[in-house]
């Protein structure tokens, strides 16, 4: 792809252009080391580093156009400098222009909230694909155009990648896009320049307070998405059962719809029967069974159904396909061993998500079935939630095994100490503390008897463990299956 500089600067808040402006560019980058000839380098102030410090390196690697907020001390005659008020916002507009403004040609739905983003985005992707509608999924598990998977590092990829793959998806005939919108992505302006057809609010609970500093800031970031990215011709689908839902919709211009199980809503669902294999439901007078487990998954299913309706799909067509949706990888993913031990792998990595999963199991399991949980907390993340999560597991499970998650740059032993800082720890049973996650899973299998349930929480779909900047191969489900085979369990 090749574009004239002035064409990709349309609607950018430019302060000044230094140098020749009639240049061709063949790409955009925010990483100086990845710059090649005729690539535009956008220098932005990041969380840990300032891109302005790497302008010279970008030029040495081939950049002939620099977008920046501060005029460099050394101006090179062959280089064009575009001075802007906000380089991150400029990046969004530039990326959108470079890739032919893809969100003007595709119906993009953003899903935000503490829990449920991945599940709803994935259910919508599967549902529309089953209905014969080509679409793109942008989620924490990667980007998926129809059936082709593309791996990414962040819940919300950078805006260049988003526009690039949206453009590719349109060329392949996609009409819909379903995208997770994280609070980090909103706050870091990683969705600037995108036009949304609709937005979904799932819920908001304790999470990411290490980054946002307070719950009010976290809530405000979520609200910002609905107030600033949804205009009057779009829709906002809100979980009415969440106690903060009324705060989200204060200044929303979009048409507001509510979904829920408990309160009055535009879209409702009734749970007839719950068990460890799935749920029997009634939705729009239609009774059906689905293999998704837990009330939290019913909310995700209902939000997906409502979104399909709001995007113009027929009820009978949606209902015919939605009941065939299978559990999502790493989200209450189950496996039963030959001896009857049940393994459940779930991504629950915050207090509310963890409590919801464990309470769901306790509600539907039989009294004689023991619940064993292997749990860790991520390093370099919100420390306040560690003891909260430790207490939840300790209070709700028959056996608790505390272990490593992704310790990152932290000492995993210190993380485990933080997890045990709660008063009720002195009350009754012991907590097993095993730093090595594989050994912790192995211990859980040794302790389990026929029909007992082992929950491996926190990592879900992840196929790695991050330690000191290195990602080592690690998949909870695969390791559990291998260990079960070795133990003939």
The DSSP secondary structure of 369-429, one letter per residue, reads S-EEEEE---TTS-SHHHHHHHHHHHHH-SEEEE--S--BTS-HHHHHHHHT--GGGGTS-
pLDDT at 376: 97
pTM for this entry: 0.90
Question: Do 69 and 91 meet the contact criterion of CB atoms below 8 Å apart?
Answer: no
Buried b (16+ CB within 10 A) or exposed e, 69-96: beebeeeeeebbbbbbeebbbbbbbbbb
**β-strand pairing of 267-268 with 176-180:** unpaired
- Asked if 44 and 105 count as a contact pair (C-beta separation under 8 A), the reply is no
Structure tokens at 293: 């487990």
Q: Look at residue 270 in the predicted model and tell me its pLDDT.
A: 95
Please state, in angstroms and rounded to a whole number, the distance separating the CA atoms of residues 180 and 139: 5
Per-residue pLDDT at 140? 84
Q: Is 346 in a helix, a strand, or coil?
A: strand
pLDDT in tens, the chain (489 residues): 899 999 999 999 999 999 999 999 999 999 999 999 999 999 988 777 899 999 999 999 999 999 999 999 999 999 999 999 999 999 999 999 999 999 999 999 999 998 999 999 999 999 999 999 999 999 988 899 999 998 766 555 889 999 999 999 999 999 999 999 988 888 888 899 999 999 999 998 866 666 666 888 989 899 999 999 999 999 999 999 999 999 999 899 999 999 999 999 999 999 999 989 899 999 999 999 999 999 999 999 999 999 999 999 999 999 999 999 998 999 999 999 988 999 999 999 999 899 999 999 999 999 999 999 999 999 999 899 999 999 999 999 999 999 999 999 999 999 999 999 987 666 666 899 999 999 999 999 999 999 999 999 999 999 999 999 999 999 999 999 999 988 765
Bridge partners for 460 per DSSP: none
Straight-line distance from the first to the last Cα atom of the chain, in angstroms, rounded to the nearest whole number: 55
pLDDT score of 427: 62
How far apart, in whole angstroms, are the C-alpha atoms of residue 464 and residue 157?
19
288-to-54, 182, 259, 349 alpha-carbon distances in Å: 58, 32, 19, 31
Judging by beta carbons within 10 Å of its beta carbon (0-12, 13-18, 19+), is residue 201 exposed, middle or buried? buried
Query: Which pLDDT score is estimated for 426?
Result: 60
Would you say 92 and 86 are in contact if contact means Cβ atoms under 8 Å apart?
Answer: no
CA 468 to chain centre: 23
Looking at residue 250, its pLDDT comes to 87
CA distance 473 to 401: 21
Rounded CA gap, 171 and 165, in Å? 10
β-pair partners for 454: 343, 372
Is residue 128 within 8 Å of residue 169, measured between CB atoms? no
């Amino acid at each position: 792809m090749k574009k004239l500089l002035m064409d990709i600067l349309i609607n950018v808040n430019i302060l000044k252009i230094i140098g020749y402006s009639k240049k061709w560019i063949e790409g955009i980058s925010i990483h100086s080391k990845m710059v090649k000839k005729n690539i535009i380098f956008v220098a932005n102030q990041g969380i840990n580093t300032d891109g302005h410090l790497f302008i010279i390196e970008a030029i040495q690697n081939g950049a002939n156009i620099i977008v920046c907020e501060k005029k460099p001390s050394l101006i090179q005659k062959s280089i064009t400098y575009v001075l802007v008020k906000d380089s991150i916002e400029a990046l969004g507009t530039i990326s959108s222009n470079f890739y032919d403004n893809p969100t003007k040609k595709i119906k993009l739905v953003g899903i935000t909230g503490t829990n449920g983003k991945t599940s709803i985005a994935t259910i919508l992707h599967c549902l529309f694909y089953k209905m014969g509608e080509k679409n793109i999924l942008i989620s924490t598990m990667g980007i998926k155009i129809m059936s082709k998977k593309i791996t990414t590092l962040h819940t919300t990829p950078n805006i260049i990648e988003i526009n690039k793959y949206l453009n590719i998806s349109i060329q392949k005939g996609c009409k819909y896009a379903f995208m997770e919108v994280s609070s980090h992505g909103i706050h870091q302006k990683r969705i600037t320049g995108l036009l949304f057809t609709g937005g979904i609010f799932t819920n908001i609970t304790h999470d990411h307070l290490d980054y946002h500093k307070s719950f009010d800031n976290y809530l405000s970031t979520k609200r910002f998405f609905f107030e600033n990215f949804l205009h009057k011709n779009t829709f906002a689908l809100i979980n009415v059962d969440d106690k903060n839902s009324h705060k989200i919709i204060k200044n929303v211009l979009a048409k507001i719809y509510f979904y829920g199980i408990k309160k009055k809503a535009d879209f409702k669902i009734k749970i007839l029967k719950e068990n460890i294999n799935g749920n029997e439901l009634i939705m729009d007078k239609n009774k059906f069974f689905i293999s998704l487990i837990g009330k939290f998954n019913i909310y995700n299913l209902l939000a997906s159904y409502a979104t399909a309706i709001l995007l113009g799909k027929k009820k009978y067509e949606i209902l015919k396909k939605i009941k065939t949706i299978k559990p999502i990888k790493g989200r209450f993913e189950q496996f039963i061993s030959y001896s009857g031990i049940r393994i459940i792998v779930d991504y629950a990595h915050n207090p509310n998500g963890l409590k919801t999963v464990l309470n769901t199991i306790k509600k539907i399991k039989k009294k004689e079935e023991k619940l064993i949980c292997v749990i860790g907390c991520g390093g370099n993340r919100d420390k306040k939630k560690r003891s909260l999560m430790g207490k939840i597991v300790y209070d709700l499970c028959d056996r608790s095994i505390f272990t490593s998650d992704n310790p990152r740059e932290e000492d995993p032993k210190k993380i485990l100490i933080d997890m045990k800082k709660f008063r009720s720890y002195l009350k009754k049973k012991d907590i097993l503390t095993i730093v090595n996650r594989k050994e912790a899973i192995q211990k859980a299998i040794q302790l389990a008897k026929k029909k007992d349930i082992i929950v491996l929480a926190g990592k879900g779909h992840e196929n790695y463990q991050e330690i000191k900047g290195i990602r080592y191969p690690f998949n909870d489900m695969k390791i559990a299956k291998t260990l079960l085979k070795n133990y003939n369990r």
